[in-house]
């Protein structure tokens, strides 16, 4: 797959181990709304129970912009492989992993539940592009993780990019696969130089989420 022509939307990828991938996508979303675009945001991992700050973004917009901005929070939370530390039984295992010096993340869903959530998210993306009036901007938050984690394969994502028409698509997440990098018009890799996690500091709401 080759990058865009002048008659099709651009494909942006924000990847890398550093903080700022979703933040960059949020900036693009605000810029698109300010330009009068319809913007759809699909979260592949974040779930409504997290109540992160950007979920309140529509409430801050003027009514005209609210009508042009849709959040689709379709994730199941953190996905940890079966090799992670597990507590519980086979039917409902809870996987735990350390983050930095003092943080932990918990995955209390089965791999099948994560797979189904990723499939629902990519299906939603396809549906949005097939609307009579598709969005000018479509953001797939942490879809790169879904690909690298094996919750999605390239065969599910490639047709979406091929059939995007004039819609600009922004994809975020760690470990963007080579096929996606080749297909993109823009790739920004955010490098981690330092992170508060490294010294034991946890994420700050309003600053990090």
pLDDT tens-place string over residues 122-178 = 999 999 999 999 999 999 999 999 999 999 999 999 999 999 999 999 999 999 999
Determine, yes or no, domain membership for 182: yes
Asked if residue 116 is part of any domain, the answer here is yes
Residue 86: inside a domain? no
Q: Which residue has the higher pLDDT, 118 or 206?
A: 118
In a domain, 194, yes or no: yes
CATH classification of the domain holding 142: 3.40.50.300
- Whether 102 maps to a domain, the answer reads no
Residue 100 is predicted with a pLDDT of 61
pLDDT of 102: 60
What is the percent of the chain with per-residue pLDDT over 90, rounded to a whole number? 74
- Mean pLDDT value across residues 29-52: 96
For residue 96, give the DSSP letter. E
Report percent pLDDT > 70 for the chain: 90
In a domain, 39, yes or no: yes
Query: Which of 23-32, 166-175, 188-197 comes out lowest in average pLDDT?
Result: 188-197
Q: Is the pLDDT of residue 99 over 80?
A: no
Residue showing tokens 């009508």: 67
Q: Quick one: average pLDDT of 44-70?
A: 95
Quote the CA–CA distance of 169 and 24 in Å, as a whole number: 13
Could you give phi then psi for residue 27, rounded to 5 degrees?
A: -60, -40
What are the CB-based long-range contacts (under 8 Å, 24+) for 48-53? 48/73, 49/77, 50/77, 50/209, 52/205, 52/209, 53/205, 53/206, 53/209
Of 199, 171, 1, the residue nearest 101 (C-alpha):
199
Contact 22, 179 (CB under 8 A): no
What pLDDT was estimated at residue 96?
81
CB 18 within 8 A of CB 190: yes
How many domains are there within the chain? Answer: 1
Report the distance separating Cα 173 and Cα 81, nearest Å. 17
In a domain, residue 1? The reply is no
pLDDT-based confidence at residue 81 (cuts at 50, 70, 90) = confident
Least confident of 46-50, 71-75, 131-135: 46-50
Beta-carbon neighbour count of residue 53 at 10 Å? 13
Rounded to an integer, the average pLDDT of 106-128 is 95
The reply to whether 167 falls in a domain is yes
**More confidently predicted of 208 and 185:** 185
* Residue owning tokens 């089965």: 110
The yes-or-no verdict on residue 86 having pLDDT over 60 is no
- Name the residue range of residue 34's domain: 11-81+109-199
The residue with tokens 């059939």 is: 163
Band (101; pLDDT cuts 50, 70, 90): low
């Amino acid at each position: 797959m080759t990058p865009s022509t002048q008659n099709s939307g651009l494909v942006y990828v924000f990847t890398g181990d550093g903080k700022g991938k979703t933040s960059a996508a949020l900036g693009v979303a605000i810029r698109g709304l300010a330009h009068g675009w319809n913007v759809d945001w699909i979260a592949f991992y974040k779930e409504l129970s997290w109540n992160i700050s950007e979920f309140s973004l529509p409430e801050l917009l003027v009514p005209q912009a609210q009508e042009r901005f849709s959040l689709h929070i379709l994730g199941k939370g953190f996905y940890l492989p079966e090799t992670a530390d597990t507590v519980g039984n086979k039917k409902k295992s809870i996987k735990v992993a350390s983050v930095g010096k003092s943080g932990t993340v918990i995955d209390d869903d089965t791999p099948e539940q994560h797979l189904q959530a990723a499939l629902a998210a990519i299906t939603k993306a396809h549906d949005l592009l097939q609307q009579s009036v598709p969005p000018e901007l479509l953001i797939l938050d942490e879809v790169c993780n879904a690909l690298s984690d094996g919750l999605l394969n390239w065969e599910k994502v490639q047709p979406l990019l091929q059939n995007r028409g004039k819609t600009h698509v922004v994809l975020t997440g760690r470990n963007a696969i080579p096929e996606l990098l080749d297909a993109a018009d823009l790739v920004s890799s955010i490098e981690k130089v330092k992170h508060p996690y490294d010294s034991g500091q946890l994420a700050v709401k309003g600053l990090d989420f």
